[in-house]
Amino acid sequence: MTKKVLITGSAGFIGFHLSKRLLGNDWHVIGLDALTEYYDVELKLARLEQLKSYTNFTEIRGRLEDEDLCANIAETHDFDLIIHLAAQAGVRYSIDHPKEYVNTNLIGTFNVLELARSKKVKHLLAASTSSVYGANKQMPFDEAQKTVTPMSFYAATKMSNELMAHSYAHIFNIPTTMFRFFTVYGPWGRPDMALFKFVRAMLDDKPIDIYNHGEMKRDFTYVEDLTQAIELLAAAAPPLVTGRSDDARICGDSLSTVAPFRSVNIGNSSPVNLMDYIKAAERALGKTAKKNYLDMQVGDVPATWANTNLLRNLTGYQPSTPIDVGVDRFVEWFCEFYQNGEFKNG
């Protein structure tokens, strides 16, 4: 039987890769995207054109904040699962544009929850972020840690999404999984992401900005590893709460005791120094970057590191693509898509 899924943000970086993966595995994907101008729309359209080549892809264009659109989706489309990836992304952008995050991440996510409720979906899966760990010091981050000290408004909206989803899971018995993504990178990435900025600047012979003077670590996660984990988690819906005890948490599961809800880290579980990430880009391009060292950016954190025991226990899978391999693939795509660094759109 064909699996039918609604993916929000299907023309986005992660949404595109996930949609393409599921389409290739014979899922029917209903893809919703607003094609907003947060970054180059031509890049989003190029992703979308690939998805539209599949006969099992249905495109819907519009914003999640539009209640009438969401109501129409509920009435006219059939799907068993929702994978909610649409969001206003970016830690730094949230400093100057917080209202964008309220509209997309809070109101938009509320409408997704209402959609999941009205359609009685078998599983709702939604994107959170490693940024919810905020000022936590204990590493690696695991799902049992408290997440009450967000360092950016972006992180605050994502933590709010988790709380909103938990309440709906409890009230309406909606099996729900929240992903906490750790620094995803790879081909077709967003122009506001670090690797994109580094490669673009290096090809233009311009300096790259390096925050906290390079004293940063990130649990870099290759995008195709991430989408494989999501597909596997789609089949691991949290069970209903009937008769449940606290044993799940004792066994390392983040499963709620009052709702069919859990949060799951998706990361490489192998932090990399920022300077080593830059060196990988330098090797791939065959040139040395000019470096502009800066203080820590407001809202940022010095390190991230995912405990992925729960992901492995649920799926048997562990992301593992090495940085050199992932960066090489990004650079190869970048040079091909942007004609060896000559940008189509400035």
Which residues partner with 265 through β-bridges?
180
C-alpha distances in angstroms, 102 versus 148, 193, 243, 298?
Answer: 18, 21, 37, 19
Out of 101, 133, 154, 185, pick the active-site residue.
154
Nearest to 33 by CA among 4, 71, 62, 66: 62
Q: State whether residue 82 is helix, strand or coil.
A: strand
Nearest to 103 by CA among 157, 180, 60, 151: 157
133 counts as catalytic:
no
Judged by phi (left if over 0) then psi (alpha if -120 to 50, else beta), residue 54 lies in beta
Nearest to 187 by CA among 24, 330, 297: 330
- Inter-residue contact 172 to 254 (CB < 8 Å): no
28: which DSSP letter? E
Cα–Cα dist 170/182, whole Å:
27
Residue labelled with tokens 């892809």: 57
Q: Taking each helix axis from N to C terminus, what angle separates 323-337 and 274-285, rounded to the nearest 10 degrees?
A: 50
Q: Which residues are catalytic?
A: 154
